[in-house]
A and B are shown apart, each in its own frame.
Chain A
C-alpha cells in the first residue's frame, strides 16, 4: 500500500466534515473577500492588530484566572494578592502570562487610539458608517473600563488607592445625589473594600469581555456590509 501524502489525509477529514455540514462553503464565504488595492496599506492593519491583541488578552486572561483568587481576605493576608504573587514568582511561565496580559493591555489602548486616528483621517466615520464609529467608541469605553477594573485585581497599595481615586472622580458626577449613588454602586459599600474587588472582578472577567466580543461581531458585520471605505 502506498503511503498517503499528508494532504490526502487532510482532504479526507475535510470531506468527511463537509458531507455533514458545508463548513468549506461557510468558511469561504466568511474569509474569501477581495481586498481593494487602496486598502493594501499598513495603516489599514491597525484594526486587525487591535483584534489580535484582544484575542491575546482573552487567552492570557483565561490562563490567569486558573490561579487568580478574587478574595480580598483580611488586612495582611489577602488571597487575591498572594495568588498574584504566586502567578508572578512561583508558577511556571506565570510571569510571562501575566506580563503579556499587562503589556497587552497597554498596547491595546495605544493600538485602539491609532486605529481610531486612521479612521478619522480617512474619513471612514462618515455616512453611512456612523453606527460603526459609535460601536467602536463604545468598545473604546469597554477597553478603558477593562483597564480600570483590571488595575484593582492585584489588590496591592497602588491598586487600592488608584481605584479609590477613580471612584472618587466617578462620585463627582452631578447632581451630588447621583454621584453618591454611582460611588456606592461601584464600591459595593461605604469604602473601597472586599466588595469592590468582587464587583470589579466580575465586571472585568464576565461582563465586559462578553460585551466586547459581542460588539466586535457587530463591528465586523458592519464592515462586511459597508465594505472598506475609499480614501478621501
Chain B
C-alpha cells in the first residue's frame, strides 16, 4: 500500500514520451544540421598562412633613434599580418593590414597598426616620440606601452625577420585568397 501511495518518479508513459521526443528531435536535427554547415563558409582555396615579404625604403638596422617606418600588407595578392600578441581589442592571431617598424633607443620593434582600443590605425608623432590614435586620442610610447587611454592595452607585436634582400623584411601573415 505504501508503494502505491508514493508517486513514481518516472512512469512508463513519461519514459515513452521522452523517448519519442528525443527520437523526433534527433531526426529533425540530423536532417537539418548539415544545412547549418552549408552556412559555414569554406575558406578560399588559395588562402594560406606564411611569411609575407615587405619592401622597406631602408634596412631596419639603419633606422635612427625615434624613427619609424610605416608599411602595408601586400594587396596583390590580398594579404594581412597576424598579430603575435595583444590585449584590449587586439588579440594574438587577429589580423592587421599595416604595421610600424620603430627604433626605440636602439631596440627595433615591429607593431601592428591597429589601436588596442577599437582598432583604428595609429600614426607616428615623430617630435613627441609616440604613436597617436586619431579616433579617440589614445597615445602609445615607442615601446608600445600605453601613455594615455582610452586604449586599455599595449600595441600588438608582429613576428618578423630580416629578408634575404636587406631592403625587405619578412612578416608573419596570411594570404587571404580573395
Contacts and interface: CB of A to CB of B under 8 A. Distances in A.
Q: Do A and B truly interact?
A: yes
Interface of A: 1-7, 63, 66-67, 86, 90-94, 96-97
17 contacts: A1-B9, A2-B11, A2-B14, A5-B13, A5-B14, A6-B17, A6-B21, A7-B17, A63-B38, A66-B39, A86-B42, A90-B42, A90-B45, A91-B41, A92-B34, A93-B37, A96-B38
A18 B87 CA distance: 48
A2 B9 contact: yes
A96 B11 CA distance: 44
Closest 8 interchain pairs by CB? Answer: A6-B21, A93-B38, A5-B17, A6-B17, A5-B14, A92-B37, A90-B42, A91-B42
Interface string B1-26: 00000011111011001101100000
Contact of B10 (A3, A66, A86, A92): A3
Interface in B67-120: none
Interface of B: 7-11, 13-14, 17-18, 20-21, 34-35, 37-42, 45
Nearest to A2: B7
Contacts of A66: 39
Secondary structure dominating the interface of A:
loop
B18 A94 contact: no
A3 B9 contact: yes
Contacts of A67: 41
Given A63-B35, A92-B37, A93-B37, A3 B42 contact: no
A92 B42 CA distance: 7
Contacts of A6: 17-18, 20-21
Contacts of A7: 17
Given A6-B20, A91-B41, 10 more contacts: A2-B10, A3-B10, A3-B14, A5-B13, A66-B39, A86-B42, A90-B42, A92-B34, A92-B42, A96-B38
B45 to A, nearest CB: 7
B38 to A, nearest CB: 4
A97 B45 CA distance: 21
A56 to B, nearest CB: 12
Contacts of B13: 5
A67 B38 CA distance: 10
A92 B21 CA distance: 29
A2 B6 CA distance: 10
Given A2-B8, A2-B9, A92 B40 contact: yes
